[in-house]
Amino acid sequence: MFRFFRDNLRYLRLQKTLSGTKDKEPAATPVKLEKSLNQNIITIMEKFRNSSDFLKREITVGGHAVALLADEGMVDLQIMTEMIFEPLINCGLGGDALAEEVYTYLEETIPIGIDVNDVYDTDSVFSFIMSGFVVILIDGLEKGIAVGAQGFSFRSISEPSSEINLRGSREGFTEPIRINLTMIRRRIKSPQMKFELFKLGKVSSTDVCMVYMNDRVSDRLVREVRQRLRGIDLDIILESGYIQPYLQGKPWSLFSDVGTTERPDTLCAKISEGRIGILVDGTPFALIVPYFFNENFQSIDDYCHKPYFATFIRWIKYISFFMTILLPGVYVAVGTFHPELFPHALLFNIAAAEETTPLPLVLEALVIHFIYEVMHEAGLRLPRPVGHAVSIVGGLVIGDAAVTAGLIGAPMVMVVALTAISSFVVPSLYESVSILRFAFIIIGGMSGLYGITLGLAFLSVNMTKLNHFGAPYLAPISPFSPKAMKDVLIRARWGKISRQDSRVQNFKGTDMDK
């Protein structure tokens, strides 16, 4: 018998581990609306205590007290007045009408919006008010009506600041999730496009939407992402970055297998390849899973240019990526341990420049890169005009004064400048690249090219280890899928790309159902 209990306990524990979520506390039972309007208002007012934006207006319709409840900032007051308030006051119901008749009049006669819902408990009342609804409660009825009258102000649709393209749409996501969903729906008018809405965040109740194409996405991927979203145990979600770690495979990896985009066209392209997009209310940044390394080097522009030019640009991006992480480290390694590798003329120039500087090459590189990162951060956070000034002052100080003062060699300034410019070619990898650059400088300064090579070996394993949602991060490069390479190192012409099935589950090495 004990074995029975033990086995069952073990099974339960296993289930818990597999689901990856802790047992949650049972949710409090919602308070039902009562017949007495006064009682209902007292209960609701209790919830809105000290909330100055809460609106309450009581009127009499057909001899019954009717209360209109809303949140001032969330509703359009004009809609509220013209479409709800006026018709209520001017209704033709006599003073002896039944409460049920007032309700039917409200539901059928008033020219209110399409978004009308019945409410039966105070929690729903609260939730609807917070979502921009006007809730109408009638004395003598145990239910109310929630009418959509959203009218909060928000930032208009504008060009995304982090993904600027030469061609393609100028629209970027904005903060309200509904508008973002519309932008996607407008681009892919397919019944297979699905929007699954979740309310996440115990306190914030943030709308989070999972977007995918039913006929293209792997069922297993949908199940896993859905399970992970449901497992998020946060109080407040203000940005998609809050839920990103819950979707990432290896939190300690240098690279992220969850992508972000501000562009609806990019997200639509990814969704059509069998990926899942995740939109969070209140942020223009959507998440994409699964996300591959090579996608950091692709942009919408690639598909608008001629294939040869797109391929050329892509190679520039790959070279820039390697240059930005390796150039300072290799320069330090070669200069410190293997100077014989430089051609003689170059070696003499470098030696002459470095002879006048007081710091060893590795320290010089670390200091100047640290200063560069400080300037970059300052330029980013400060107001734009001041940011430009910082850049100019920084450029002058590092580029000219430091060399003239003999603190830093001129070749090192050139290395830093090249590295800095290269790092902006692939902005989505900036985080990883900054850390790797410092790491390779230190490694190169300590153990030369041996350390750099070993560092690269470590990095390759670190990247290949990322295999979240059954999709290898380095696919289709490793494991190698020759057919999918038509859009990796080169960008083949549309005829060739469109002929292949570009769904992610078709890459070699993926462990997803088709």
Partner 1 sequence: MEKNRINTVQLMILLFLSRLFNALTYIPGMGSTVSGTAMLFSNLIGAGVLLLLFLPLVVMANRYPERSIVMNLRAGFHGIGSFGSIFYYLFLILLAAQTLAQFQFFMSNAIYPDAAVWVTILPMLLVAVYAAHAGIEGIARAGFLIFIAFCIAFAFIILSSVQNVEMYNVVPLGHKAVQEIMQGVYAVVSRGAELVLFCLLLPYAGKGTGTAAAGFTLLSFSVQEIIGFFILTVLGSFSYSQTFPFFSLASMSEISVFQRMDALYMGIWVFVAFIRLSLLLLLAADIIKFILPDRKSGEHHRFSLAVTVLLVLAAALPACYNMKALSVSYQLLFSGVPVLVLGVLIPAGVLLKMEWNKKKNKERI
- Interacting positions 138-177 with partner 1 (CB under 8 A): none
Geometric angle at alpha carbon 382, from 380 and 386, rounded to 5°: 110
Instruction: State the nearest-atom distance from the C-beta of 453 to partner 1, in Å.
Output: 4
Rounded to whole angstroms, how far apart are CA atoms 271 and 212?
A: 6
Q: Which one of 94, 153, 461, 498 is in contact with partner 1 (CB under 8 A)? A: 461
Is the distance from CB of 439 to CB of 452 less than 8 angstroms? Answer: no
Instruction: State the nearest-atom distance from the C-beta of 449 to partner 1, in Å.
Output: 5
Nearer to partner 1, 39 or 460 (CB): 460
- Interacting positions 342-361 with partner 1 (CB under 8 A): 342-344, 347
Residues 223-262 vs partner 1: string with x where CB under 8 A? Answer: ----------------------------------------
Residues belonging to the chain = 514
Nearer to partner 1, 259 or 451 (CB): 451
Quick check: 3 binds partner 1 (CB under 8 A)? no
Stretch that binds partner 1, among 167-175, 296-304, 366-374, 476-484 (CB under 8 A): 476-484
Radius of gyration of the chain measured on its C-alpha atoms: 30
Q: Which one of 341, 392, 401, 405 is in contact with partner 1 (CB under 8 A)? A: 341
Rounded to whole angstroms, how far apart are CA atoms 462 and 251?
A: 12
H or E element: which one contains 75? none
Q: Which one of 322, 370, 480, 494 is in contact with partner 1 (CB under 8 A)? A: 480
Residues 285-324 vs partner 1: string with x where CB under 8 A? Answer: ----------------------------------------
Quick check: 336 binds partner 1 (CB under 8 A)? no
Quick check: 127 binds partner 1 (CB under 8 A)? no
Stretch that binds partner 1, among 199-207, 218-226, 335-343, 395-403 (CB under 8 A): 335-343
Q: Which one of 191, 340, 385, 498 is in contact with partner 1 (CB under 8 A)? A: 340
Rounded to whole angstroms, how far apart are CA atoms 178 and 184?
A: 10
Rounded to whole angstroms, how far apart are CA atoms 290 and 353?
A: 48
Within 8 A by CB and 6+ apart from 365, the residues are 328, 331, 332, 412, 415, 416, 441, 445
SS (H, E, C) 281-350: CCCCCEEEECCCHHHHHCCHHHHCCCHHHHHHHHHHHHHHHHHHHHHHHHHHHHHHHCHHHCCHHHHHHH
Strand partners for 67? 58, 137
Residue 63 DSSP label = T
- Binding region for partner 1 (CB under 8 A): 334, 337-338, 340-344, 347, 447-451, 453-454, 456-458, 460-461, 464-465, 467, 472, 474, 477-480, 508-511
